[in-house]
Homo-oligomer: A and B are copies of this chain.
C-alpha cells in the first residue's frame, strides 16, 4: 500500500463521513449547511414549525425564556412516554431574551408581564444511538442566526450538562406539558 493511496483513502473516508453527517439530520437538509463541531449536527429544516413540548425560563447571567419543540419522532415518543427516545428523534430548544413588557404592564396596571424578545440561540439534539454512543446517544449543536456556533468547549458543555441528568430520563431536561 503506497503512501499516496493511504492519503487518498483517508481523504475519501473523511468526505464520506462528512456527507453522511450532513445528510443525517434531515434528508432534505442543505448539504452546505454549517455543522456543529464534534457532533456534526445541522439545523434541521422546518424546526420552527414543529409541535410544542414545553417552556422554561432561565434566570442566569443572561435571562432568557425558551420553548422546546420536537420533530414527529420525538413528539410521538413524548406522547407515548417512550424512553429511551428512538433514533431520529430531534428536540429543538429556541431561546429568546427575557424582557419586561411595558405595553402589557400598562394594560394589566402592574409590572408583571415578561415576553420573548430577540432570539438568542437555538440548540438542537439528535438521537442516534450508534453515532453518538459516547454521549448517551445524543448529538448536539448550538445555532445563532441560523449558523452553527463553532466553539468546541461550548458544544462539549451540551453533553456535559445533559449527562448529569438521571439515566432514566434518557438525559432529557424537558418533560412534555399537557
- Taking beta carbons and an 8 Å cutoff, which residues of A are in contact with B? 48-52, 54-60, 65-67, 69, 94, 96, 98, 101, 103-104, 106-108, 110-116, 119, 161, 164-165, 173-175, 177-178
Contacts and interface: CB of A to CB of B under 8 A. Distances in A.
Nearest to A165: B107
Given A104-B173, A119-B178, 12 more contacts: A48-B178, A49-B51, A55-B65, A55-B116, A56-B115, A57-B98, A57-B113, A59-B113, A59-B114, A65-B65, A103-B165, A107-B161
A135 to B, nearest CB: 15
A124 to B, nearest CB: 16
A60 B116 contact: no
Contacts of A51: 49, 51
A106 B96 CA distance: 23
A7 to B, nearest CB: 44
Nearest to A111: B59
A165 B113 CA distance: 14
A114 to B, nearest CB: 4
B115 A59 contact: no
A59 B101 CA distance: 12
A69 B55 CA distance: 12
Given A107-B165, A161-B108, A66 B59 contact: no
14 contacts: A48-B52, A50-B52, A52-B67, A54-B116, A55-B66, A55-B116, A56-B65, A57-B113, A58-B114, A59-B114, A60-B110, A65-B65, A106-B164, A115-B174
